[in-house]
């Protein structure tokens, strides 16, 4: 069902505030002595560059969230926004800002950043969570108009790619748990070294991506599938960047089978995410316009017409 004009205005306001919040923190990091390329290397966790002073605050998922929030803002400015769009963005907002409540309250957070910066990060997380709840409530309670057309459902190929991506990501996460059982909880609690202030723990981010991709593949709804594709593509691009910067790609034939399989997984994630985005955007069929019902013909005139006919 499509949202009414009043509901769309609410979504515009909420998504605009979320966009400004994330853009403000990214702008803060870009204002540090680091160049954008050095900041990208820190986002991709592939460079030995030291953590800047003041500390880096954003992670790679902030870039992805900025894309998602901007897309929702643009969609809400036009008629035809479905309730699934703000609901999906609200859900991913809650999922990725929730870890800040325990990461920023942990004992090691005070060793990485100042108390003032940690307080600002905690307030940001709380504000983002409140805005995410607002998107969910708007999607659940706002008035709606006509039903969405059949063109809003996604192709089967997109469902297959998202399901396969969820399986690949889940497989590597299980492997990490088996190989490093003692350190594995840090991937969810935030105890990983050099975790940026606002970044979600890597295991948590992977789990959210897996769950979103699997649900989108089963539900075959476009808005959550688009978000899942953005995060799957991000995981692949991040891995490919690591392979290029660390010199793994030129030595691909010399690598052990496990590392070659990992690089193949990164390539698959990048291609699958890009393919799903193309399938859901370029291949989107417009919803058919409702046609008025043909007029019902009246009864034929009688053979002998009465007076005044």
pLDDT at 53: 47
pTM for the whole structure: 0.86
Percent share of the chain, pLDDT over 70: 82
Average predicted confidence (pLDDT) for the chain:
85
| pLDDT for residue 52 is more than 80 | no
Q: In this predicted model, what pLDDT tens digit does every residue of 196-242 receive, in sequence order?
A: 889 899 899 999 999 999 999 998 788 999 999 999 999 999 988 88
> Is residue 1 scored above 80 in pLDDT?
no
- Find the length of the chain: 309
Q: What is the pLDDT of residues 19-42, one digit of tens each?
A: 999 999 999 988 887 778 878 877
Is the model's pLDDT at 291 over the cut of 80?
no
121: closest CA among 141, 133, 134, 103? Answer: 103
Ranges of H-type helices in the chain: 5-30, 36-43, 60-76, 84-97, 100-103, 109-112, 115-141, 156-179, 186-189, 202-219, 222-245, 257-281
**And the tokens for 245?**
């910067």
Q: Which residue has the tokens 């706002």?
A: 142
Amino acid 8: pLDDT: 94
């Amino acid at each position: 069902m499509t949202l009414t004009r009043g509901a769309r205005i609410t979504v515009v306001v909420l998504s605009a505030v979320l966009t400004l919040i994330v853009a403000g923190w990214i702008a803060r990091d870009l204002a540090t002595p680091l160049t954008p390329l050095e900041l990208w290397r820190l986002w991709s966790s592939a460079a030995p560059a030291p953590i800047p002073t003041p500390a880096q605050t954003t992670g790679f998922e902030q870039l992805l969230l900025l894309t998602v929030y901007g897309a929702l803002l643009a969609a809400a400015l036009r008629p035809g926004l479905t309730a699934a769009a703000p609901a999906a963005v609200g859900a991913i907002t809650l999922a990725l800002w929730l870890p800040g409540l325990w990461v920023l309250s942990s004992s090691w957070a005070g060793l990485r950043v100042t108390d003032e910066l940690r307080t600002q990060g905690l307030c940001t997380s709380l504000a983002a969570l409140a805005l995410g709840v607002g998107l969910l409530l708007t999607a659940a309670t706002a008035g709606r108009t006509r039903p969405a057309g059949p063109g809003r459902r996604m192709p089967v190929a997109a469902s297959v790619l998202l399901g396969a991506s969820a399986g690949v990501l889940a497989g590597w996460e299980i492997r990490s748990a088996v190989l490093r059982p003692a350190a594995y909880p840090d991937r969810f609690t935030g105890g990983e070294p050099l975790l940026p202030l606002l970044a979600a723990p890597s295991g948590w981010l992977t789990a959210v991506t897996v769950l979103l991709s699997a649900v989108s593949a089963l539900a075959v709804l476009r808005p959550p599938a688009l978000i899942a594709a953005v995060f799957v593509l991000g995981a692949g691009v991040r891995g490919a960047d690591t392979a290029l910067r660390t010199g793994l790609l030129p030595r691909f034939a010399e690598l052990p089978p496990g590392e070659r399989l990992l690089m193949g997984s990164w390539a698959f994630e990048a291609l699958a995410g890009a393919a799903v985005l193309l399938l859901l955007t370029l291949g989107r069929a417009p919803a058919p316009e409702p046609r008025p019902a043909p007029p019902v013909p009246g009864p034929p005139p009688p053979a002998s017409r009465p007076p005044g006919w």
